[in-house]
């Protein structure tokens, strides 16, 4: 369908000088700084103290800037849809999508209308970062010369990429809205850190253990997000207004995303609950204007102007794009002659408020009250507290819809029958409270196996609430937890770091049968690797050749699985089962033969220990891996095979060995009681400075699952204080 687009091209200079700070601003910054104390411990972790919550936020943002200002700016360039101002046209249509979905004008309104107490936090957020820029003129922001207090209201979730686009790709948005990238002289091309489907890290693990299963008689929580390395910052926060929390903060945010306070803890995993829908709109043009059909009538399409600025050399090229909206939401693409409009709740004041209130909740009732804002669109929550409660919620924000409709596909936008109704209450969504089995696990797999026999009944919930199938991490977690008794913190960590690859329980029997039926010539060639796999305990290890052979062959098998269908999530067990039922024995054996040949070609022998090629290295520039530089052997692998810890690795440009880039990031085990006990580990180290002793001081513990003690109470922090200062 032909559409009319307006492109207005303006050329603006790229400003390279920092925006000046007024005398009043500087005085305000300095007054706040004197009210904040930062203590960095022997691992470089900052512990931030102030009388007020706002003071803690000010100090938190200052320390984040000290550590990774570039990461903060990158996150806000994404959230505000302004990456093109730093990177040129490559991410332009990602920016277009983001600006279509979330309007900064709405965030500014939310800021202006926020309560005085919450506005103080937003102001402190901006002041903390702006004070850092004032004190460090050598730091040259790519785009943001000054941070605004409404910015966090564009970034209301701590997930990896919480913005929902309804699976509409930037390419589709480009095809709909016209080739603005070519208009300004640069061709758009998709950009991704992760290149192939089998490398994509899609999960996290959260366990809650009831007092009946622990040695101490207190509840415990295990936190294991799987994200790109160095994605969050470990911190301790304490004010005299009731804030006393520890955990990780996503760069650029001021709440603990995953962690605990003195009374309760929370682990968020990515949710696949259906909380956003695409509406297929029937449109027509009359008298030069667009209309869409709804309830037997024509409604006018809302038209807005998006001004995109794209870096080209030393200039910013501004182009105006005519954007379209129906009452369902922004139009992101067109398929089969219909426009696709996205209905979602991608950003909101309530979502950010909920994230903050959770940090300060002290009881199960207070935590539920915070979640009762029903504003978190992308997270499941695993919970434990000092009163012995454990809980799990599959999602939070959940619109009521007609369960007879397939919401995984675009729905008819012309009828009121597809409209959302009210929201489901917190107790109506899929949940588990204090299960009789004494454990909860969520590994981004079906919530209907989350607590064994005490799991929710799948028949009582509509499909859109929990479309997940099973994955091998979930299967593995149940087998590890169902008989666990007298667990200690170290015992819980050991289970969370178990190296068992559950997928091979299903995969290897078929391979062995195929080998037995193979011609003698094939048997002779593969006799030794088959013998290794038969003797293998299906646990990865750095000194294991069988691990190398199995992972190479298993990865090849996974690559033959088709991509997921619309709405299909955590599908690996289902799809692998289908594959194993249909694949020919000859193909299974051929893939093993190819894996052996490939190893022989790359390394001169197929008998390669897994740790010899699977390495941890932290480049000084964060990008350039080098086989000639020091690295550490790693016995872990991808969680796709069912291993609970995750270490995603691949051959990097210019290397022969594989290097980790995603997976385990911040891992924590917490035991509640009169006093909180906790242990954590992070990827490599806290510092981003390669010359710092904290750059890789946690690397070996991270690889081996040997955690450090958390310094939660100030007396303990003072014993290990290395640096104490005001911002």
Bind-site residues? 274, 277
Which of 246, 100, 290 lies closest to 677, judged by CA?
246
204 is catalytic: yes
Look at the chain and count its residues: 727
Roughly what angle, to the nearest 10 degrees, separates helices 545-559 and 572-582? 90
Q: Say which of 50, 114, 159, 204 is annotated catalytic.
A: 204
Read off the tokens for 365.
Answer: 């009732």
Strand, coil or helix: what is 160?
coil
Partners of 311 in the β-ladder: 316
102 in Cβ contact with 346 (< 8 Å): yes
415 in Cβ contact with 446 (< 8 Å): no
The rounded distance, in Å, linking the Cα atoms of 394 and 391 is 10
The rounded distance, in Å, linking the Cα atoms of 146 and 149 is 10
Read off the tokens for 192.
Answer: 């991704």
Strand, coil or helix: what is 547?
helix
The rounded distance, in Å, linking the Cα atoms of 78 and 71 is 11
List residues forming the annotated binding site for Ca(2+): 274, 277
Cα–Cα distances (Å) from 190 to 9, 193, 513, in that order, read 23, 10, 43
Per-residue burial over 514-539, b = 16 or more CB atoms within 10 Å of its CB, e = otherwise: bbeebeeebeebbeebbebbeebebe
The rounded distance, in Å, linking the Cα atoms of 100 and 416 is 23
Q: What is the DSSP letter of 298?
A: E
Which of 596, 615, 614 lies closest to 605, judged by CA?
596
**DSSP string across 316-337:** EEEEEEEEEEETTEEEEEEETT
Read off the tokens for 352.
Answer: 């950010």
Residues with a known catalytic role: 204
């Amino acid at each position: 369908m032909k559409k009319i687009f307006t492109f207005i091209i303006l050329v603006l200079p790229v400003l390279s000088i920092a925006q000046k700070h007024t005398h009043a601003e500087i005085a305000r910054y300095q007054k706040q700084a004197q009210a904040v104390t930062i203590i960095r411990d022997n691992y470089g972790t900052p512990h931030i103290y102030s009388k007020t919550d706002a003071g803690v936020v000010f100090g938190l943002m200052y320390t984040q800037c000290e550590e990774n200002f570039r990461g903060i700016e990158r996150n806000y360039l994404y959230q505000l849809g302004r990456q093109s101002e730093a990177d040129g046209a490559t991410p332009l249509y990602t920016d277009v999508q983001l600006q279509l979905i979330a309007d900064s004008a709405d965030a500014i309104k939310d800021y202006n209308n926020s309560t005085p107490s919450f506005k103080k936090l937003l102001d402190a957020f901006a002041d903390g970062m702006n004070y850092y820029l004032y004190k460090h003129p050598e730091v040259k922001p790519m785009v943001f010369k000054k941070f605004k207090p409404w910015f966090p209201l564009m970034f209301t979730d701590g997930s990896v990429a919480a913005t929902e686009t309804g699976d509409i790709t930037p390419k589709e948005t480009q095809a709909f809205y016209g080739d603005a990238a070519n208009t300004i002289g640069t061709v758009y091309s998709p950009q991704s850190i992760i290149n192939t489907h089998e490398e994509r890290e899609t999960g996290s693990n959260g366990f809650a253990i009831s007092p009946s299963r622990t040695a101490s008689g207190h509840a415990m929580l295990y936190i294991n997000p799987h994200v790109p390395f160095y994605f969050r910052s470990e911190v301790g926060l304490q004010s005299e207004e009731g804030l006393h929390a520890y955990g990780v903060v996503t760069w650029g945010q001021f709440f603990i995303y995953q962690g605990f306070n003195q009374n309760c803890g929370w682990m968020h995993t990515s949710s696949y609950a259906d909380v956003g829908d695409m509406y297929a709109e029937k449109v027509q043009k009359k008298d030069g204007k667009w209309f869409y059909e709804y309830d037997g009538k024509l409604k006018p399409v809302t038209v807005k102007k998006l001004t995109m600025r794209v870096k080209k050399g030393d200039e910013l090229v501004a182009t105006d794009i005519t954007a379209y909206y129906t009452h369902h939401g922004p139009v992101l693409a067109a398929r089969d002659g219909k426009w696709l409009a996205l209905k979602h709740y991608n950003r909101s004041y309530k979502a950010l408020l909920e994230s903050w209130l959770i940090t300060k909740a002290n009881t199960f009732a207070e935590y539920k009250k915070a979640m009762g804002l029903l504003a978190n669109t992308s997270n499941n929550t695993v919970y434990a507290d000092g009163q012995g409660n454990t809980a799990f919620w599959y999602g939070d924000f959940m619109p009521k819809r007609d369960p007879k409709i397939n919401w995984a596909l675009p729905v008819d936008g012309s009828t009121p029958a597809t409209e959302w109704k009210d929201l489901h209450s917190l107790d109506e969504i899929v949940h588990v409270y204090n299960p009789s089995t004494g454990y909860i696990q969520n590994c981004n797999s079906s919530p209907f196996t989350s607590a064994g026999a005490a799991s929710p009944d799948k028949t009582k919930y509509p499909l859109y609430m929990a479309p997940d199938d099973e994955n091998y991490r979930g299967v593995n977690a149940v087998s590890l937890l169902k008989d666990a008794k007298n667990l200690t913190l170290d015992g819980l960590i050991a289970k969370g770091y178990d190296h068992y690859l559950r997928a091979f329980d299903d995969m290897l029997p078929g391979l062995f049968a195929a080998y037995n039926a193979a011609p003698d010539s094939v048997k002779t060639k593969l006799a030794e690797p088959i013998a290794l796999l038969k003797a293998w305990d299906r646990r990865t290890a750095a000194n294991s050749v069988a691990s190398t052979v199995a992972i190479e062959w298993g990865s090849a098998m996974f690559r033959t699985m088709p991509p997921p269908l619309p709405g299909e999530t955590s599908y690996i067990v289902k799809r692998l089962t289908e594959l194993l039922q249909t694949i020919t024995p000859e193909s299974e054996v051929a893939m093993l033969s190819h894996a052996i040949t490939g190893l022989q070609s790359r390394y001169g022998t197929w008998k390669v220990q897994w740790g010899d090629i699977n390495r941890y290295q932290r480049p000084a520039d964060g990008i350039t891996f080098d086989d000639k530089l020091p690295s550490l052997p790693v016995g872990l692998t991808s969680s796709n095979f069912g291993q609970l810890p995750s270490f995603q690795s691949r051959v990097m440009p210019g290397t022969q060995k594989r290097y980790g880039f995603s997976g385990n990031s911040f891992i924590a085990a917490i035991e509640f009681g009169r006093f909180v006990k906790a242990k954590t580990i992070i990827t490599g180290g806290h510092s981003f400075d390669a010359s710092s002793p904290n750059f890789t001081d946690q690397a070996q513990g991270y690889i081996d699952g040997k955690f450090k003690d958390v310094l939660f109470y100030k007396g303990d922090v003072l014993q290990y204080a290395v640096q104490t200062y005001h911002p």
